[in-house]
Amino acid sequence: MTADRDVAPLVILALDVGDAEAIQEWAREGYLPTIASLMERGCWGRTSGPDLICEHGIWVSLLSGVSRGRHGYYASRQLRPGTYDLVRTTELEADALPFWAHLRGRDVKVAIVDVPDAYPLPGLAGIQLANWAVHNPSRGPSAEPTTVLRDVRRALGPAMRIDERIGSSVREDERIYRRLLERIERKGALSRHLLGQRRFELVVVGFAESHLASHQFWQYRPRADRPGPMAEGALTHAIRDVYRAIDQLLGRLLALLSPDANVFLVASTGMADHYPTTGLIEAFCHRLGYQASPRSGRPSPGGPASNPLAAIRRTVPEAWRLALSRHFPRAIRERLLADQFRGATDWRRTTAFAIPSLYSSFLRVNLRGREPEGTVEAGPAYEALLDRLESDLRRLVDPETGQPAVQQIGRSARLFGDGPPQSLPDLFVTWKPAPYWMRRLAYPNAELTQRKPEHLRGSDHTQHGFVAAAGPSVQRRGPIGEVSPLDLAPTFLRLLGEPLPLGMTGRPIEGLVGSAAMLTDNSTPGEKGVI
């Protein structure tokens, strides 16, 4: 961006979980007037596409415009390429930076506050604050410059962390509800404190309370599958209340900023009925002969030869190990899980295996040349095995409904190209949403079962989010249908009058950006837009 360009400021409101159907319904009913105003003045649609096939990595793809096929981030626990090691992963390890990284070294004032899966970057003019009030942070708050964090703590006190509680009582959930509403108010005070100090050309602010609320209060919401009179409790509309409080905060925030700004509301994903399926995909791999267990008395070729954790795994019954592990520090639990994963498989007799996960399932071919003990040749043998896996997955039936249990199977090589992936699973398996936990599945001449897990939560994420936009450079079009999340970052750069970097997968959304934003070097000289 050069000083002689007249570019409208850009405001991006990042909603970490915002169900598209719920937003549209509550906007129509008057509960979300700020979002409704954006929709009335501009356009709105659903985000969809391969990059929403699983929750982790959505914000990385959306903010960078780089496909997960390139950045490789898909879960909080992944397989380290070239090994059978499970490792904790974070967005910091993804090979993709948010679009504002391309503004480094430029005189473009930015305010980046609590954006999901984003961390302070050096070289940007303005302020950046991360992990002050986000969902399930992997580390503590940080800022750039560092004085910002010190200033925020002095003005507003320490960060207010609220964790999800599985198996909590109604009284505990009511307390979480009150704390979420309190944190939204504090987030409003934080935003006013930071954004009222100076003027910015790019503002990106994240709001995470809808994420926790959707999980924590999912069981209390009004449901179509519970017909008849039902007594309403204090938490019946808790999810809607949290959305409403965020909407009110958005209204106050936009009133503080320039009325000439281009404004985007972007939500990562929605929510649906879903229970863990970890045991089912493991049973699928073992019962159908894809993943082999070590023969009795023999250590797994890919497992550790001897260490204390391996000794615990071999000598202590599984039920005892699970009970004991709950009292271990997280690092020890992760090492136990990684050891169990490596040692419970005979890799030299395995053709495909499941990477441990809770909801969506991840299948990986034991590919020769990619895995240490690969057994499947690339080419026709690899493709034939994937065909067989897909066929077997489609034959799984939920006995409760008599319907297929698997809703969607995504093959990475087809979704993201470039042949067998190095980091991603070969197959992404999406199970059909259900308002109950599936203990067993039927397969021709077999039955697959799973034990009830400790993490028994009845909600998980959908494969679409929401976007709404309004402003002087946004054409008024009403509903715009399906939007790729990869196209948002290049659209944002186009609105800022910036060139698009070669590494972006997405392109500016066709027809969304009006002529006011289609800037060239011959644009009429003028003052840069500010907020």
Asked whether residue 299 carries a pLDDT value surpassing 90, the answer given is no
Q: What is the pTM of this model?
A: 0.89
Burial 438-463 (b: 16+ CB within 10 A, else e): beebebeeeebebeebeeebbbbbbb
Classify residue 297 by its DSSP letter: T
CA 505 to CA 418: how far, in whole Å? 14
The structure tokens listed for 101 are 């990284």
Q: pLDDT-based confidence at 516, cuts 50/70/90? A: very low
Burial 78-91 (b: 16+ CB within 10 A, else e): bbeeeebebeebeb
In the chain, the N- to C-terminal Cα span, in Å, equals: 15
Would you list the domain boundaries of the chain? 10-273+461-517, 278-293+347-457, 303-344
Write out the DSSP string of 255-283: HHS-TT-EEEEEE---EEE----HHHHHH
Q: pLDDT-based confidence at 322, cuts 50/70/90? A: low
CA 513 to CA 113: how far, in whole Å? 25
Among 313-327, 356-370, 387-401, the range scoring the smallest mean pLDDT is 313-327
The structure tokens listed for 266 are 């972007």
Furthest C-alpha separation in the chain:
79
Classify 194 as helix, strand or coil: helix
How many CA atoms lie within 13 Å of 206's alpha carbon, on the beta-carbon side? 23
Among 28-42, 175-189, 292-306, 456-470, the range scoring the smallest mean pLDDT is 292-306
Asked whether residue 310 carries a pLDDT value surpassing 60, the answer given is no
**Chain-centroid distance, C-alpha 222:** 25
Among residues 492, 425, 333, the alpha carbon closest in space to that of 56 is found at: 425
Q: Which CATH architecture has domain 10-273+461-517?
A: 3-Layer(aba) Sandwich (3.40)
